[in-house]
Amino acid sequence: MTENNANLPQVVSRDEWQDARKELLAREKELTRQRDALNAERRRLPMVRVEKDYVFEGPDGQASLLDLFEGHHQLIVYHFMFDPSWEEGCQSCTAWVDHIARGHLTHLHARDTSFAVVSRAPLEKIEAYKASKGWTFPWYSSYGSDFNYDFHVTLDESVAPIEYNYRTRAEHEQAGTSYYVEGEQPVEQPGLSCFLRDDESAFHTYSTYGRGGETVGGSYYFLDLTALGRQEGWEEPKGRSGDAHGAIPAFSS
């Protein structure tokens, strides 16, 4: 092995590799069971009624939070960092949403769940940046509303006390994560928030921030963040979904 490749995995026989792989497989299976249990606990979280009448701006004009559901039962919002003074969106957020394919939206819609991106930038800047990237997912402007502040992705002490990822500024400083709240305010941060609709009321069920966005690796992982989950018969708690789907990754049922 050359010096440049000194950090590559150890070369072993097929039998040795098989033994090591089986050992890792046992840990992977345990992690899957733990993830299933954690997802069940997420679905058991209580929810909070959204009392404010947030107004967003989209390609078709003004929209309410209920409009973002597009007639579906659930809504997942990605909080994209795009300050109104910026000419382009955050590059990390750009990389994140670049993974959103037409299939994601189709599969989420098949499970009665909508997806939308929300930023504080004016719609004109959002539309220009979206077009430059060739994206087609719904993207709304929350410019002029409290939405970003209320869901703690725009941090500005002149508007509200600083909180990000369920920690205050002091708690971040104590934990060594003050980089989340440092810089000239307002500070933009990313996140994901989930909402559930019941008739004409919307409820906030879940939000994740920081590295929490890394866990979303596909339509199932998106659905795992929501109150209804994958809506498949094996999930806990039982009875959450009226018509349970089969555990079919093709989303054909």
CA 12 to the chain's CA centroid: 40
CATH code assigned to 48-224:
3.40.30.10
More confident residue, 216 or 62: 62
- Region for residue 150 given its phi and psi (left: phi exceeds 0; alpha: psi -120 to 50; beta: otherwise): alpha
Q: What is the pLDDT of residue 216?
A: 79
The gap between the terminal CA atoms of the chain, to the nearest Å, is: 50
Q: What is the pLDDT of residue 245?
A: 83
Task: Flag whether pLDDT at 50 surpasses 90.
Answer: yes
The closest alpha carbon to 208, from 45, 72, 56, 90, belongs to: 45
Q: What is the pLDDT of residue 240?
A: 78
Residue with tokens 């994901």: 192
- Confidence at 32, pLDDT banded by 50, 70, 90: very high
- Confidence at 115, pLDDT banded by 50, 70, 90: very high
Q: Confirm if 186 and 156 have CB atoms less than 8 A apart.
A: yes
Give the pair of three-digit tokens for residue 6: 């000194």
Bridge partners (DSSP) of residue 75 are: 114, 195
With residue 16 as reference, give the H or E element that holds it. Answer: helix 14-43
More confident residue, 145 or 235: 145
